[in-house]
A and B are shown apart, each in its own frame.
Chain A
Amino acid sequence: MCLLLGAALGGAALAQQPATPVNEQQVHEVAAQLRCVVCQNLSVADSPSEMAQQMRAIVRERLAAGERPEQVVQYFVDRYGEWILLSPRGRGFNLLVWLFPAVAVAVGLAIVAVVLRRWTRRRRAAPPAAAVDAGMSERIRRELDGGA
């Protein structure tokens, strides 16, 4: 009984623990979404620069304070704009970036389908080779034979 109570109390204490233990994997995941502001095409997770180190420390600290990863990302977006995100969010004008390749592939496939159908239809609709009348072919054969 005492043991059970102790276990229950221990569980409660764990649940109440204010500082969330920070998972380095989570820090990396958030940092990988952020553009290193002093580099070219490097994420905060990949850059060795001092600025990126400080930004990683800020990510870790905010996660430790109990913020969700989305909130941490939003903290940076509020200060730097969406420019800080390595992949633009799929909404508003940005949707174009996400949808345009799919639309381009769909339109391309549609054009290929139409062109292919037109080619095959033309071949099928082409007049049969035996359109030469019997008299003419007889004459050709005779001339060929005569010439040989």
Chain B
Amino acid sequence: MTRLWRWLIPLSAIPLLALLAYGFRTNPRDIPSPLVGRPAPAFALTTFAGAPLALETHRGRVVVVNFWASWCYPACYEEAPVLERGWRAYRDRGVVVIGVDIQDRREAAEKFIRDFGLTFPNAQDPTGKVSVDYGVYGVPETFFIDRRGRIRAKHVGAVTDEVFRANVERLLAEPEGPPGPA
């Protein structure tokens, strides 16, 4: 009886230690998006310039959807030039960059676009529906959508030139072919 107890106590600690080992290795701030690998939710917004902006019209192209806000300092300020550079470098290869401004005032957002000289289409999400559809919980967040219209990667935080290039090149390298099994 006593010998059994002597073994039982350290043995019972093993599952607890295993649980702690698992728990401490995962990053509590890392929230995996259930949307990666799934079709990108459709949206139809109006750009600051007044033009219609729908995801559907860009099917067949690699689309980079970036959620930002003018109050999101410094991350959005760091990545704005990166996105503009990426758009200019890749637009001729069939890449579209779309900016979605959330939780923002129109004047402040327009000033942001002017200050950074952004030339890719930008629109406001006035009801927050697009952000909820994309499971956005903060700015900036960037989604890389393949030619078949599926979300393939989500980047949280400022996009760097390396992140932009790596994701876009990977999706551009994929065959254009008809939609295969997802």
Residues of A with Cβ closer than 8 Å to B?
A: 37-38, 50-51, 54-55, 57-58, 76-81, 83, 96
Contact = CB atoms under 8 A, between A and B. Distances in A.
A95 to B, nearest CB: 13
A58 B34 contact: no
A119 to B, nearest CB: 15
Contact of A79 (B35, B127, B128, B138): B35
B31 A83 contact: yes
A54 B129 CA distance: 8
Contacts of B33: 81
B41 to A, nearest CB: 8
Interface of B: 19, 31-35, 103, 127-129, 131-138
Q: Which 4 residue pairs across A and B have the least CB separation, nearest first? A: A54-B128, A37-B137, A79-B135, A80-B135
Contact of B34 (A54, A55, A57, A78): A78
28 contacts: A37-B137, A37-B138, A38-B137, A38-B138, A50-B128, A51-B103, A51-B128, A51-B131, A54-B128, A54-B129, A54-B131, A57-B127, A57-B128, A58-B128, A58-B129, A58-B132, A76-B132, A77-B34, A79-B133, A79-B135, A80-B31, A80-B34, A80-B135, A81-B32, A81-B33, A81-B34, A81-B135, A96-B19
Contact of B132 (A50, A79, A83, A96): A79
Contacts of A76: 132
B134 A79 contact: yes
B107 to A, nearest CB: 16
B132 A55 contact: yes
A55 B137 contact: no
A96 B134 CA distance: 30
B129 to A, nearest CB: 6
Given A51-B103, A83-B31, 14 more contacts: A38-B138, A54-B132, A57-B127, A57-B128, A58-B128, A58-B129, A76-B132, A79-B35, A80-B31, A80-B135, A80-B137, A81-B32, A81-B33, A81-B34
B70 to A, nearest CB: 14
A50 B34 contact: no
Nearest to B19: A96
A55 B128 contact: yes
Most buried by A among B19, B31, B34, B133: B34
Nearest to A107: B12
A58 B129 CA distance: 7
B151 to A, nearest CB: 11
Contacts of A96: 19
Nearest to B38: A78
Contacts of B136: 37
Instruction: Report which residue of A55, A79, A80 has the largest number of chain B beta carbons within 10 angstroms of its beta carbon.
Output: A79
A82 to B, nearest CB: 9
A83 B137 CA distance: 11
A54 B127 contact: yes
A104 B33 CA distance: 33
A55 B128 CA distance: 8
